[in-house]
Structure 1
Amino acid sequence: METTTMMLLRQAPVRRGHPIRRLVAPILFTLGASCALPAAAQTTFDVIGPHEYDLPVDFQPFNVFVQYAYVQRNNRSFDSSGNRVKGSGSDAIVGLSKYVRFWTPDFNRKIGLAWEVIVPEISLRNDRNNTQASGIGDPMTGFAVWYKPRTDLTLGFQSFLQIPAGSTDVSDRNWKNLSSAFWDWRLTDKLGWTADAGFVFQGKRTDRLLPGTVFHTNHRLGYRVSPLLEPFLALDYERSRDTATVNGGHALDAGAGMMFHTFDNQSISLRYSKSISGENHSANNSINIKYAYVW
């Protein structure tokens, strides 16, 4: 029997001659001192902001709590020819609560380590067919390791496991591994580039569909115009592989935002993101907010 969440989201291309309703796409994240989101239309790890991977080494252990939230309007999508067509019309409101522990190992103070746990809160509504679903999404946990070959450059690797233990209506119902390389380059004392590139590996879902491996890359270019304000540009891309049951697709998104350096241990980032092009993919049209607290 079709679940409420399946009814809320657009039809996804499959290879067996008939469309099926998509479950909620995975809620994915990344790691950083002001840290990792996406659901239905957003690309993998597109939640990162300026300084996301501007991480220290040789430091005393500390903690970070991050609350992400975004509102996504699924009013457009891309068909197999790359044309914009009518989307499901659903609205998604998603919150992501994350705790991260940072430390430097005693055996090498030039390396940084972190472990995190993320719990998503999801609400989907479609006024066209009067359907609604909400609940706790699939949780994620994982680690990151990094080093600094120069004081202005950070290089690292991260890997996360997403567990299909969320509420039935909002779970994607399969195991996932998200692994990527990341970097942060402070080009000048005001200009910085932070980015990542990696893959999402997925198991078979309970409805017997096997999503393809997803490649993604995310880039943020920020310029600190004052002690308080840092405007930034965003570029996100992902491409999924074809499988025997699901057609692959891709999306390219662009956005702009502002990071507010409110206090030494807190920050708030706002961003608007919209898809430029795509194929077999829903179109991003979202407003994003991130609040980070360090202690």
Structure 2
Amino acid sequence: MPSNIRSRPVRRLLRVATLFAAIAHGAPAAAQVTLDVIGPHEYELPVGFQPFNVLVQYATFQRADRVWDSGGDRRATPKSEVLVGLTKYVRFWSPESHRNIGLAYEVIVPEVGIRNTRANTSASGIGDPLTGPAIWYKPSPNSTVGFQSFVQVPVGDSDIGGGDGWKNLSSVFWDVQLGKWSYTADAGFVFFGESNAADATPANVFHTNHRVGYALNDVVEPFVGLDYEQQGSWTNKATGQKVARSHETTAGLGVMFKYYGNQSLTLRYSRGLDGDSHGATNSLNLKYAYAW
């Protein structure tokens, strides 16, 4: 394939902020809405391309000092700081027999650090890794529709919430490009296996994530984001305690930088707007991607 043709899908796939990222490892980190790490052009994916690889490093700093109470008010809580890294390797290919679709398989390893500044205690370690495929097609040259499903394997460090049951994250995603405007989004569920700590199966989580960007030029693209998740109530059989239904809506502002044709850097700030019985998001997010 001519290099100028191959570079086009490479640049597009570099814009993938993630096909999955969940950083709910332990109570403080649970403030983050599922898949809120996605960025503009997240799902602007091509078809009919030669196989290649992408390595992505994410970093999220969350000030976990506020929660939404059951009445929807923001309340102070013992101050904690959470730093989460996500190291992701993705293999992209388009089958020779079906060049009108695209496929990806990825492995994600979370690195989590939690510090309680009031008690001067901390914990860190490797979270539960994630792995799974994605598939998509293009209804038109400027749109993409797909499906992704990932398994979170409970082998992470228990000090930061790992090892507490299997999880599956499945969602549909879509993307539309309109000149300098871009819209990318997803909607899906997190399904839980039985919790080792609670001797119960937590209620499923519904989430949806939306990004709208406007390209100032070929390098700089500011964007806005809106994220939402909701989890039903369930009972901790080990303690008999009922865990209340919870939700949070967040909004964010960010900017994406694209350079060298095969690299990108995305920065974003996100804050909770509304919620109940949920950690309040207040985070800085960074993503660096490199394709080869």
**Common topology (TM > 0.5):** yes
Alignment of 1:205-224 (within 5 A): 205-207=195-197, 208-224=199-215
Matching residue of 1:151: 141
Residue in structure 2 matched with residue 202 of structure 1 by the alignment:
192
- Alpha-carbon deviation of 1:209? 4.2
Distance 1:293 1:243 in 2: 41
How far apart are residue 193 of structure 1 and its match?
A: 0.2
Indicate if the aligned counterparts of 2:16 and 2:39 stay in contact, CA closer than 8 A. no
- TM-superposed CA distance for 1:127, in Å, is 1.7
Correspondence 1:227 to 2:225: no
Cα shift at 1:32? 6.9
1:48 is matched with which residue? 38
Q: Is the 8 A contact 2:155 2:163 kept in 1?
A: no
Q: Structure 1: where are the runs of 5+ without partners? A: 1-30
Distance 2:16 2:283 in 1: 23
Amino acid at match of 2:192: Q
Matched residues in 2 for 1:71 and 1:276: separation? 18
Is residue 274 from structure 1 mapped to residue 257 from structure 2 by the alignment? no
Q: How far apart are 1:242 and its partner, in Å?
A: 1.3
Is 2:182 aligned against 1:185? no
Conserved? CA contact 2:182–2:212, under 8 Å: yes
Whether the 8 Å contact between 1:143 and 1:159 is mirrored in structure 2 is: yes
Q: For structure 2, which runs of at least 5 residues remain unmatched after alignment?
A: 1-13, 237-242
Shift of 1:263: 2.0
**Distance in 1 separating the partners of 2:200 and 2:214:** 43
Paired residue for 1:33, among 16, 37, 51?
Answer: 16
Cα distance between partner residues in 1 of 2:268 and 2:163: 26
Does 2:250 match 1:253? yes
Query: What is aligned with 2:283?
Result: 286
Aligned-residue sequence identity (percent) comes to 55
| Structure 1 position 70 matched with structure 2 position 54 | no
Q: Is the 8 A contact 1:34 1:267 kept in 2?
A: no
| 1:254–1:130 distance in 2 versus 1, CA, 3 Å | same
Q: Are the aligned partners of 1:66 and 1:290 in contact in 2 as well (CA < 8 Å)?
A: yes
Provide the rounded CA distance (Å) in 2 between the counterparts of 1:78 and 1:238. Answer: 13
1:61 is the counterpart of 2:27:
no
Report the 3-state secondary structure (helix = DSSP H, G, I; strand = E; otherwise coil) of the residue aligned with 1:244.
Answer: strand
Deviations 1:77-104, CA, capped at 9 Å, x for gaps: 0011111111231100111000000001
Structure 2 counterpart of 1:151, which letter? P
Question: CA offsets, 1:28-87, max 9 Å, x none?
Answer: xxx973424433211000000001100010000010000000100011100111111112
Q: 2-side partners of 1:176 and 1:210: how far apart?
A: 10
Runs of 4+ in 1 over 4 A off after TM superposition: none
Distance 1:135 1:54 in 2: 33
Residue matched to 1:9: none
TM-score of the superposition, structure 2-length normalised? 0.88
- Map residues 80-159 of structure 1 onto 2, 5 A cutoff: 80-159=70-149
Q: Is the 8 A contact 1:222 1:233 kept in 2?
A: yes
Once residues 284 and 254 of structure 1 are traced to their aligned partners in structure 2, the CA distance between those partners, rounded to angstroms, is: 9
Amino acid at match of 1:285: N
Q: Is the 8 A contact 1:87 1:282 kept in 2?
A: no
User: Number of paired residues?
Assistant: 264
Partner Cα separation in structure 2 for residue 83 and residue 159 of structure 1:
34
Counterpart amino acid of residue 199 in structure 1: F
Q: What is the alpha-carbon distance in structure 2 between the residues aligned to residue 138 and residue 160 of structure 1? A: 12
Q: Is the 8 A contact 2:232 2:246 kept in 1?
A: yes
Q: CA deviation at 1:244?
A: 2.7
Deviation at 1:168, TM superposition (A): 2.0
Query: Counterparts of 1:91 and 1:209 in 2: how far apart (Å)?
Result: 28
| AA partner of residue 16 (structure 2) | A
CA 1:282–1:172: 2 relative to 1, 3 Å: farther
User: CA separation in 2, counterparts of 1:292 and 1:34?
Assistant: 8
CA distance in 2, matches of 1:214, 1:172: 19
Distance 1:95 1:209 in 2: 29
